[in-house]
Amino acid sequence: MNDNIPENSIRALETLRQFLEEDEWYPQPLEDLHAYRAVFGGSNGETVCIAQIKMEMEQFLFYVVAPVKAPEEKRPAVAEFITRANYGLRIGNFEMDYRDGEVRYKSSLDFEGEILTPGLIKAAIYPAVYTMDRYLPGLMGVIYGHQSPGEAIAEIEG
């Protein structure tokens, strides 16, 4: 491995792999990214997840990608929806790529100088997948035009 990569990050990547395998995520390695791809089947849909170690920075990033992209004409409404959703979230946040409409939920940990444990990984991953699953029906309602962002959030957060 590269001399600039901290030993702690190398251990973290191995810990991440072991956690994902033992927790039955069936991870697929994305070697160039120091990451793993997995699928989460929630009650509201299936999402692709990316678990990544930023090696030089000793950071763990976890992304849950929505199963549909926001069409260009819906991106302002989706941006409002995710802004409303983000307000008050304690762990992680929604993001949207305005270039292609990809919507994802991100959680992250900076473990510089610390050991990335299975417990920390679990604490970053599960709130992310459950939050995406909770908000996915509202996102779909906004994308497919039968709900305004405010209506969708009100229905979810009641």
What percentage of the chain carries pLDDT values higher than 90?
A: 92
> What's the fold here for domain 7-157?
Yope Regulator; Chain: A, (3.30.1460)
SS3 for 67?
coil
User: How many angstroms separate the CA atoms of 83 and 85, rounded?
Assistant: 5
CA dihedral 143, 144, 149, 150 (to 10 degrees): -160
**pTM over 0.85, yes/no:** yes
- What pLDDT sits at residue 5? 86
At residue 2, does pLDDT exceed 80?
no
For the chain, give every domain's residue range. Answer: 7-157
Mean pLDDT of the chain: 96
* Mean per-residue pLDDT, 108-125: 97
How large is the average pLDDT for residues 110-121?
96
Strands 59-65 and 35-42: unpaired
In angstroms, the CA 60 to CA 35 distance is 10
Sign of CA dihedral 120, 56, 10, 27: positive
Q: What is the pLDDT of residue 36?
A: 98
Q: Is the dihedral of CA 8, 14, 15, 17 positive or negative?
A: positive
